[in-house]
Amino acid sequence: MLRPLVAIALALVAAPLAAQAPEIRPGLWEFTIAGAQAGKRVTQRLCFTPQRVKDMKNVAAKGDPAADCKASNEKVAGKTRSFDLACTKPNPYRARVTITVDGPDNFTMAQDFTLERNGKKEQGTMSFSYRRIGECPK
C-alpha cells in the first residue's frame, strides 16, 4: 500500500503549488511519511533541481503520471494551501490535502484519504515532512 500512496503524495505537491512562484530551494530533500502503515515512519530522499522548483508541477516527476489525479477546491491562507484530490488509477483515491510551506527549506503536507482497493475502502491520515538537507549529488 505504501508505494502507491507515496506516488500519489508526490503528485499532490504539483497541482496546488503550480501557479505559485518557487517557494522552495533546489537541492537534496528528505521527506518522512507518518501514518501510511500503523506506527511505521518511512524516510526517503529526492533531488529537486533548479528546473523542478521553477514549476512545482515538476516536483511530481517521480509520481505515477498514469494516476489521473485532479485537484479542486483549492484554498490559500497565508503559507497554507488546502485542496481536494481525486485519482482514478490504479485505484480510486480521494483526499483532503493541506500543504504548509514553512520556508525555502521545509514544508509539510497532511492528507485525510479514502482508497478503494479490491472492492474495499480504506481510510486514513498521512503526514509528510519535507526538509532540504543539502546539495544534490553530482
pTM: 0.72
pLDDT in tens, 105-136: 998 888 899 999 898 999 999 888 999 999 99
- Over residues 2-17, the pLDDT tens digits come to 555 555 555 445 444 4
In order of 23, 29, 73, 85, the CA distances from 105 in angstroms are 9, 8, 27, 25
